[in-house]
Amino acid sequence: MDAMRATNFIATAASALLFSAPALAQSAGTPAPEKPKLIVAISVDQFSSELYRRYLAGYTGGLRTLSDGVAYPVGYQSHAATETCPGHSTILSGRHPAATGIIANSWFDLKTGSAIYCVATPGSSDPNARGPQNLHVTTLGDWVKAAEPGARSYALSGKDRAAITMGGQHPDGAYWWVDGVGFTTSTFAGPAGPAVTTALKRYDTALFARWKAAPPVIWPAASPTCAALEKPETFGKITLSGAIPPDLAAHVEENPAFLETTDFQDNLRASPLFDQALEAFAENVVTAHHLGHGPATDVLAVSFSANDYVGHRYGNGGPEMCVQQAALDATLGKFLTFLGSQNIPFVVVMTADHGGTDAAEREHRHDADASRLDSAAFVGRLNKAVEGTLNLSYEPIVGDDPQQLYVNVGPDADLHAKVQAAAIAWLKKQPEVRDIFTRAEVEAAVVPPHTPPDKLSMDQRFHESYDPTRSGDIAVAYAPRTSFGMPRGPGDVVAGHGSPWDYDRQVPILFWWPGAAKDTRTAPIETVDIAPTLAGVAKVPTPVVDGVCLELGGGAAKNCGG
C-alpha cells in the first residue's frame, strides 16, 4: 500500500472506528512533565516506524494524541535479534539484550540439547510455569518500588513474554492471555494467590459471559479504502482472498458454542478484538487497584499483541492491517480517554518491541530483491553439505532460527571447529546470505560508548543481542526483505521480522502527558533510553543502564536533573 492510499484510508475510516482522545492545549516550550502519579508504558507488537509513518497523516485517535507529544518517529531496537522477547526486555530495563540475557524468543541449550523459551521457569516441571527467571536485570517498576514505599507495578499483555519482560523481577501483577481461559498469571511471575486468581477468574467469567450473550465483532467492516485493497494474494503455497473479514475468521461467531472452539481462539489473536479485550482489562486493573491514587508513583506496562498476529498471518500491506491500524488507533484513544478521567498527573510512552516487513511476494512489487526463504529446507541443505564434507552420520547444526546457528557436536573442540568452518564455507556460496560472523567475531564487535544506533555495523548489531552462554556459534544476516518460512496451509505465517535490517529495528518512540507540546524530533534514539527517561520523570535513581535520559520539556524544569 502506498502512502497516498494509506492517508485516504485513515481519512475515510477514522470517523467510524475511532474514539475521541484527550484534546488538551499545547504550547511551545512546555516544561517537562511534573512528577506523575502513574507512568504508563505501551508497546505495540510488530509496529515498525515504516508502518507508523505510512498511516501517520490520518491518525485521529490515540495515535494522533501520542504523536502530538514529544515524538521520535524513528527510534531503534538497536540489536539484531528483533523478536518479541528481546525487544520487550529493553523497553523498561534500559539494557540491550546482551545485558538482559533475553537474546531471542527461544534459544538452544547445548547442555540439555533442548530449546529454552525465554520466560519458561528453569527447573519447573510445570509446562505452563512462566516468570522472569531468565531475565538478568530489573525494570522501571522494580526501581520505583525500591525508591518509593507504596509504589505498585503491573504488566499486562496478550503474550506472557511481553508482560513478564516489561514487568521485571517484582511486579505486583503480571498478566497475559491464555486461549480458552482468559487473562491469567503464574506463581513464578508475581503474586498469584487466591486474592489474585479469584479476581482474574471473576473477570474472565464475566468477559466470556458478555461475549456469549452478544457475540463480539472480531473484525469490523472495512472502510471503502480498505475494501479497495481486497484482492487474492498467493504467499508461498497458499492463496488468501484478501477479504474482510478474512476467510479464516468469517462466520466464527455464528457457531452457538463459538467460545469453546479453537477457531474462535485462534482468530481472536489475529484480530482487532484482541487489543480491545486487553484495553478493557487494563482499565479494570487501574480501577481495581486504584493505580495513580496511592502515596507514590505507580507503573503500568501494557503490550498490545494483535498487530503482530495480524502482520504474521496476513502481512502488513493489505486490507487486514489497514483495518487493524484504524482499530488500534481507536483502542488507544479509548485508553487515553480513560486515563484522563482519573484526574491524576500521568505520563505515557508508546513504542514497539520490533518492526516488520510485508510478505515477500507483495513486497516484491516495491522491492525487486524481496524474496522468500524456506528456512527449514535451507538449514536442511546446510546440514547435508556439512555431513557430506566431514563424513558425518547426523545433523551437526541446529538452526531453528536460521540467523543463529548452533554447532551441536558435543565437547570435541576439533570437530566443532571443522563443522563451523564447513558451515561457513557453504553459507558464503549461498546467494541469500549477506553477512556471516563467528561467535568470536560477534563477541569482539564491542560498540563504543555514545555510538548512534543508526551507525552500528552489522556485527555490532549482533553484538547488542549476544550472550556467551545462550547465543549461537554462527550469526547470519540474510538479504533484506527476506520472508522466512514456507506457508503451506491456512493460518501459517506469511510475513514477519527478526532480521538485523532497519525495517525490523526502527520503531516509533512517543512520549505524551496532558499539556505536552507537539515536538517531533529526528534524533535516532533507542528503546533503552525510555527507562532512564521515565526514571528521571519519576525522580528515582536507576541502576547501570545502556540508555540515556532524554529531556522531554522545553522549559527551565528538567526531567533528567541538573
**Fold (CATH) for 371-479:** Gyrase A; domain 2 (3.30.1360)
Q: What is the mean pLDDT of residues 9-34?
A: 44
Per the residue annotation, which of 82, 84, 100, 139 is the catalytic one?
84
Residue written as cell 503480571? 174
What b-and-e string marks burial along 386-424, b requiring 16 or more CB atoms within 10 Å of the CB?
A: bbeeeebeeebbbbebbbbbbbbbeeeeeebebbbebbb
- Which has the minimum average pLDDT: 128-132, 257-261, 494-498? 257-261
pLDDT at 3 over 50: no
Query: What is the number of residues in the chain?
Result: 562
pLDDT of res. 18: 32
Each residue of 223-252: pLDDT tens digit? 998 999 999 999 999 999 999 999 999 988
SS3 content of the chain, % helix, strand, coil (to 5): 40, 15, 45
Q: How many helices (H) and strands (E) does the chain have?
A: 20, 19
pLDDT of res. 260: 87
Q: CA torsion 352→92→286→307, rounded to 10°?
A: 10
Contact 253, 244 (CB under 8 A): no
Q: Whole-angstrom Cα distance, residue 107 to residue 399?
A: 10
pLDDT of res. 207: 97
Residue written as cell 464475566? 206
Kindly indicate the confidence band of residue 32, based on its pLDDT and cuts at 50, 70 and 90.
Answer: confident
pLDDT at 209 over 80: yes
Q: What cell numbers appear for 107 in the block?
A: 534459544
pLDDT of res. 6: 38
Q: Whole-angstrom Cα distance, residue 255 to residue 212?
A: 11
Q: Whole-angstrom Cα distance, residue 233 to residue 215?
A: 29
Each residue of 371-417: pLDDT tens digit? 999 999 999 999 999 999 999 999 999 999 999 999 999 999 999 99
pLDDT of res. 253: 83
Q: Among 364, 400, 369, 356, which residue's Cα sits nearest to residue 382?
A: 400
Q: Among 210, 343, 228, which residue's Cα sits nearest to residue 276?
A: 210
Contact 330, 67 (CB under 8 A): no
Q: What is the mean pLDDT of residues 308-313?
A: 98
Q: Whole-angstrom Cα distance, residue 102 to residue 369?
A: 31
Each residue of 506-538: pLDDT tens digit? 999 999 999 999 999 999 999 999 999 999 999
- Does this model's pTM top 0.85? My answer is yes
pLDDT at 12 over 50: no
Kindly indicate the confidence band of residue 29, based on its pLDDT and cuts at 50, 70 and 90.
Answer: low
Q: What is the mean pLDDT of residues 311-325?
A: 97
- For the chain, report the end-to-end CA distance as a whole number of angstroms: 46
Q: What is the mean pLDDT of residues 308-331?
A: 98
State the CB neighbour count (10 A cutoff) for residue 228.
15
Residue written as cell 526531567? 559
pLDDT of res. 556: 67
Q: What is the mean pLDDT of residues 124-134?
A: 92
pLDDT of res. 25: 31
Contact 453, 80 (CB under 8 A): no
Q: What is the mean pLDDT of residues 104-131?
A: 93
pLDDT of res. 562: 57
pLDDT of res. 125: 85
Q: Whole-angstrom Cα distance, residue 452 to residue 423?
A: 33
pLDDT of res. 61: 97
Question: Is the CATH number 3.40.720.10 carried by domain 3-365+501-538?
Answer: yes
Ranges for all domains in the chain classified under CATH 3.40.720.10: 3-365+501-538
pLDDT at 462 over 50: yes
Q: What is the mean pLDDT of residues 285-308?
A: 98
Is 239 tagged catalytic?
Answer: no
CA dihedral over 10, 14, 17, 19, signed as positive or negative: positive
**Single-letter code of the amino acid located at 396:** P
Ranges for all domains in the chain classified under CATH 3.30.1360.150: 371-479
What b-and-e string marks burial along 177-207, b requiring 16 or more CB atoms within 10 Å of the CB?
A: beeeebbbbbbbbbebeeebeeebeebbeeb
Q: What cell numbers appear for 39 in the block?
A: 507512568
pLDDT at 219 over 50: yes
Kindly indicate the confidence band of residue 19, based on its pLDDT and cuts at 50, 70 and 90.
Answer: very low
Q: Whole-angstrom Cα distance, residue 188 to residue 88?
A: 18
Q: What is the mean pLDDT of residues 191-201?
A: 94
Q: Whole-angstrom Cα distance, residue 185 to residue 178?
A: 9
pLDDT of res. 345: 98
Q: What is the mean pLDDT of residues 536-544?
A: 97
pLDDT of res. 245: 96
Mean pLDDT score of the chain, rounded to an integer? 93
Cβ within 8 Å of residue 218, ≥6 positions away: 245, 249, 252, 253, 264, 267, 268, 271, 272, 273
pLDDT of res. 108: 97
